[in-house]
Amino acid sequence: MSYGVWPQTIGSDAIRAAREALFQPIERAEGLPGSFYGEAFFELERSTLFPRSWSIVAVGAAIPNPGDILPLDFAGYPVLLVRGKDGEVKAFHNICRHRAIKLVHEPCEGAKRLRCPWHSWAYDLDGNLLATPELGGEKINRVEGFEKAGLGLKPIPVGRWLDYIFINLDGVAEPFESYIAPLDDALARFRFDGLRHGGRVDKYYEGNWKLAMEGGIEDYHLTFGHPQLGAQNFRNSTPFVHPPTFAGGIVDLTPADGSNDGQSDAADARLPELSRHDRQPMTEMLVFNVFPTGTVLISPDHVMLGLLMPEGASRTRLELHLYYEGDAATAAHLAAARSQVLQMWLDVVPQDFPFVEGTQATIMARDAAGIRTRFSPYWEVAVHEFQKMIIESVETKA
C-alpha cells in the first residue's frame, strides 16, 4: 500500500492474504492489517459478520419487567428489545411496517403496546399489528383486502446465556443451543443461577471495536498498563479457547508465596464467592470474549458481563454489568465492597483508552510502512484466535 492511499473496499484477495499471514503458528503469525480496523472492513463486517452471528446486544437487567422496551442501534441496524407479558425477551427490527420509520426512539417501562409516531399504527408486545387508524379515510380503520395478520413487526431470533441477550439478524445462524453449548460445557463447574445485577459502567472507546476487544482478553499488558491491580503476583495464563464461540484465558489466583488475597477477614465486609457445583473455593479468574461482541470476567467475588457495541469503524460503546452472588448485589452491609469493585472498573477502563486510541491512530501508517503486528506466544493466544474468527466470519461472502 502506498502512502496516502486507503482501500475503499476489502476484497477476497486481501482477506486471503490476511488469512495466509494469520493462520500460522502463533510465533510466526502476523496480525490483521491496519485496513481491517478501518471504514471499508467495518462495512464488510456490517454485511457479513454481524448479521449472521449470534451477537450480544444487551443484558436482561436492562429490561427487567414485562412491558419494558429497549431500542438500540447495533452496527447501524435498528433493533427493538421487548420484555413480554410472559417475561420472555423478544427482539424485532425497530421499523414500522407502514412507511418504515423507526418505531421507538427511547426506552420505556410498563408499555402495553407500541405506537408509530408518524401514522399511529399500533403493535402489541408480541409484534402483532393491532390498529391502522383511518387507513381507509376519516374514521375508517379497515379496508377490504388489507390483511393486518401478515404485517406484524419483523422478529429477530433471540438467545439467552446468563443475563446476556443475543440476536441473530439474518435468522440463519446455527441453533443458539449449538452455538453456546461449548461455553456451557467449559463452565459446567460454576453455578450462575444465583447471580444478581449490582452495578454498571458506561464508557466510549474512540477506536475500533476489535482493538478494544483484543486489549480486554490478554493479560500481557496488566502489569504495565494497570499497575494498581497487582497482577505481577499472578503472572500465569492458560488459554481458554473454543472457536467460533469464545477465546480468552484462565489465571491461577493462588499466590506464589502462599499469602491470602488481601481481602478483609471481616465477615460483614467480604463479598461471597461465586458458587461451584463441587463446592471448592475459587482459585481462578477467567477473562474471555464471547464472539463477537461480548467480554466476560469471572472472578471469585463477582462476574462482569461486558458489551463492546460498534458505533462505526472508530467508535465503540462499552457497557460493563456487574453481578454478585444472591443478596450480595443489594445488601446494605456490602455496599462498600461493591463500591470497591465498581471503582476498580472505573479506574481500569480509562487506562485502556490511550492504548486503543494510539493503535487506531496508526492503522493507515502501519500498512503504508509495511509493518505487521505480531503476537506473544504465551500471553496472546486468545487475541490470535479472535482475529482468526474475524477472518472466518467475513471471508465466505467477501
Residue 264 has pLDDT above 50, yes or no: no
| Cell of residue 66, nine digits | 414485562
For strand 129-131 and strand 195-205, is the pairing parallel, antiparallel, or unpaired? unpaired
Looking at 3.40.50.2300, 3.20.130.10, 2.102.10.10, 3.20.20.20, the CATH number of the domain 61-159 comes to: 2.102.10.10
Q: Given pLDDT bands bounded at 50, 70 and 90, which one contains residue 222?
A: confident
> Residue 331: which residues within 8 A CB-CB, separation 6 or more?
none
pLDDT 10s digits, 298-328: 999 999 999 999 999 999 999 999 999 999 9
Residue 190 has pLDDT above 80, yes or no: yes
| pLDDT value, residue 267 | 44
Residue type at 117? P
As a whole number, the mean pLDDT across the chain is 91
Instruction: Mean pLDDT check: name the lowest of 67-81, 178-192, 248-262, 360-374.
Output: 248-262
Give span(s): CATH 2.102.10.10, the chain. 61-159
Q: Where in the chain is the domain with CATH 3.90.380.10?
A: 177-397
Model pLDDT, residue 275: 86
Q: What is the mean pLDDT of residues 230-256?
A: 86
Cα(309)–Cα(294) distance, integer angstroms: 9
Residue 302 CB neighbours (<10 A): 26
| Dist. CA 291–CA 277, nearest whole Å | 26
270-293: pLDDT as tens digits = 899 998 888 888 889 999 999 999
Give the distance between the most distant pair of CA atoms in the chain: 82
pLDDT at position 259 is 55
Q: pLDDT tens digit string along 37-75?
A: 999 999 999 999 999 999 999 999 999 999 999 999 999
CA 331 – CA 334 distance, rounded (Å):
6
Alpha helix (H) ranges present in the chain?
12-22, 39-47, 49-52, 176-186, 209-216, 222-225, 335-360, 363-368, 381-394
pLDDT band at 371 (very low <50, low <70, confident <90, very high): very high
Share of the chain above pLDDT 70, in %: 93
CB 319 within 8 Å of CB 200: yes
User: Which residue intervals of 136-272 are DSSP H helices?
Assistant: 176-186, 209-216, 222-225
pLDDT of residue 389: 97
CA atoms within 13 A on the CB side of 339: 7
Span of 69-73, 199-203, 219-223, 231-235 with lowest mean pLDDT: 231-235
Per the rule left: phi > 0, alpha: psi between -120 and 50, beta: everything else, 262 is: left
Length of the chain: 398
Residue 396, pLDDT score: 64
**d(C-alpha 322, C-alpha 306), whole Å:** 9
Q: Is the pLDDT of residue 262 over 80?
A: no
pTM above 0.85, yes or no: yes
pLDDT per residue over 82-136, tens digit each? 999 999 999 999 999 998 999 999 999 999 999 999 999 999 999 999 988 876 6
CA distance 109 to 186: 36
CATH number of the domain located at residue range(s) 177-397 in this protein: 3.90.380.10
Query: Mean of the pLDDT values across residues 228-232?
Result: 82
Give the pLDDT band (50/70/90) at residue 255.
low
